[in-house]
Amino acid sequence: MTSLHRLSGVYGAAVTPLKPDFSPDPDAVPALLDFLARRGCHGALLFGTTGEGPSFTPAERLENLRAALEFRLSNPDFRLLIGTGTPSLEETVELTRDVFNLGADGVVVLPPYYYRKVSDEGLFAWYSQVIRRAVPSDGALLGYHIPPVTAVGLSFELLSRLKDAFQDRFAGIKDSSADLDHARNLGERFGTDLLILNGTDRLFTQALQAGASGCITALANLFSPDLRRVWDAHQGDDVDETAQGRLSAARSISESYPPAPPLLKMLLERWFGFPRWPVRPPLLSMPLEIAEKALADFEPLRNA
């Protein structure tokens, strides 16, 4: 195998524990991270899409990061990535700077998603400001490519410019395009020059074969042992078809119950005994009838 980036591996796109009044519950964060670590995750992304990131203020994100860092005192190898992207340049800069000052390993940054027809030149200027002003020399920023949600994609030309301009600080991309051709083309274009973390469970094996360096997925909250089996097999130049088959099946089922956070929080409670955390509006908790149907659909995969 080629030399791996220090942030390579399997990451859980962690849900965000909430209290009944929809405020964050930082006291619940260490137990969730311990659960992910024990089930094979190398690290977690807090406040990504699965973590309802855009629904939370910078202060709320920092409070949960502090709780996560308490967990890492006894788990120093567990890596912490934080979603810091907002439509506001200044808010993104300040939050990113604060996240690194506290001790996060890296940030995953959405493009500014309000103006949907901005040019690559505009996006380069925006990301350049964030990196220059907020990312330390030993920090790592990953762009977050999720056009089905943001409608603002990160082109290969933009990625190349950012990598050329910020060799170490612009680490790579979280690719949530859910597009196999895109995953393959990323690998062909950049190879190991970029840290590519795939965001689609059903594509994990193929993305690794195409040059990805790991994954950050919502289903890692439930199926991280399978993700780790696929990862470990790939490190030995092998393929775990059984684990990948379960991941692909789970992804297909999950797509029948969007959005992901209410589904995952329901399953974490029913399968693993976590509290039934609410989601913050405009998301709504899963109605009982739909939850029961989802449980029945997932049951064949629960203990596979």
Active site residue 163: no
Tell me whether residue 40 is in a domain.
Answer: yes
pLDDT category of residue 3 using cuts at 50, 70 and 90 = confident
Q: Residue 74: which CATH number?
A: 3.20.20.70
| Confidence band of 2 (pLDDT split at 50, 70, 90) | low
Instruction: Give tens-digit pLDDT for 189-237.
Output: 998 899 999 999 999 999 999 999 999 999 999 999 999 999 999 999 9
Mean pLDDT of 151-162: 96
pLDDT of residue 191: 87
Q: Confidence band (pLDDT; 50, 70, 90) for 82?
A: very high
Q: Look at residue 206 and tell me if it is in a domain.
A: yes
Domain that holds residue 239: 9-256
Q: How many CA atoms lie within 13 A of 90 on its CB side?
A: 0
109-135: per-residue pLDDT in tens? 999 999 989 999 999 999 999 999 999
Q: Is the pTM of this model over 0.85?
A: yes
Q: Which of 11, 16, 49, 265 is catalytic?
A: 49
Residue 265 in domain: no
**Percent of the chain whose predicted confidence (pLDDT) is above 70:** 99
pLDDT of amino acid 192:
86
Q: Is residue 304 part of a domain?
A: no
Mean pLDDT on 140-149: 95
**Which of 11, 113, 144, 257 is flagged as catalytic?**
144
Tell me how many domains the chain contains: 1
Angle at 153 between CA 105 and CA 3, to 5 degrees: 40
In a domain, 76, yes or no: yes
Find out whether the peptide bond into 259 is cis, omega within 30 degrees of 0: yes
- Known catalytic residue at 49: yes
Residue 303 confidence class, pLDDT cut points 50, 70, 90 = confident
Contact 40, 230 (CB under 8 A): no
Q: Residue 10 contacts by C-beta under 8 Å, 6 or more apart in sequence? A: 40, 41, 42, 43, 214, 215, 220, 224, 227, 228, 231
Is 257 a known active-site residue? Answer: no
- Specify if 277 maps to a domain: no
Whether residue 288 is contained in a domain is answered as no
CA 217/CA 2 separation, integer angstroms:
23
> Average pLDDT of 253-280?
98
Marked catalytic residue, from 113, 127, 163, 174: 174
Structural domain contains residue 95: yes
- Mean pLDDT, all residues of the chain: 96
What is the amino acid identity at position 133?
R
pLDDT for the residue numbered 304? 56
